[in-house]
Structure 1
Amino acid sequence: MSIEGLIGSILQIYIYMIIAYVLLSWVPNARDSFIGELLGKVVDPYLSIFRKIIPPIGGMIDISPIIAIIALQFAASGLASVIAFILGG
């Protein structure tokens, strides 16, 4: 597996974790479960950066996970390009 492929795989796993964490917010007490707490420890530090900048729409709809996923994809794409350039690929 190439480094670009590894970065892409890690990115996809983390995006799925963000989506799962957001979906858990729709189920009462789901974030208090073992899986919810585990996902919170991994995903919340990254999402909190965007939650500080982007207020919820109408006071209820939090779009920060969407922006966080887009930013993550841009960062991973840039990182993969830099690594490919350095390695001459």
Structure 2
Amino acid sequence: MLNIIISILNLLADVVNIYMMIIVVFALMSWLPGAYDSKLGRFLGKLVIPFQRCFDFASIGMISFAPVLALAVLYILQRALVSWIPTILVRILS
């Protein structure tokens, strides 16, 4: 039972990791003129922008730190899924 739960947590951590990569690609697209208007840009925007809106307060002038904060929050979530939660579950179930 514990192995199944840990496998599910690892799968969720992998999904978070993929989403983090999508955020990085979307942020790098800002350096390319017209990249947001491409099909890929619009698709990634639908995935990334709703989550990044939570961090729109983090900007200085025209520089937005929303992607950096989004990545930091996702990194903490990923560490919880991979390390902290399984450790707690092992202690509880053992």
Q: TM-score, normalised by structure 2?
A: 0.76
Bigger helix fraction: 2
Aligned to 1:25: 30
Structure label with greater radius of gyration: 2
% identical aligned pairs: 33
Q: Helix, strand or coil: the match of 1:28?
A: coil
CA contact (8 A) 2:16 2:78 kept: yes
What is the distance in 1 between the residues matched to 2:65 and 2:14? 24
What is the distance in 1 between the residues matched to 2:67 and 2:49? 10
Pairwise CA RMSD: 2.1
Moved over 4 A (4+): none
Q: Helix, strand or coil: the match of 2:36?
A: helix
Q: How many residue pairs end up in the alignment?
A: 85
Bigger strand fraction: 2
Segments of structure 1 that go 5 or more residues without pairing to the other structure are none
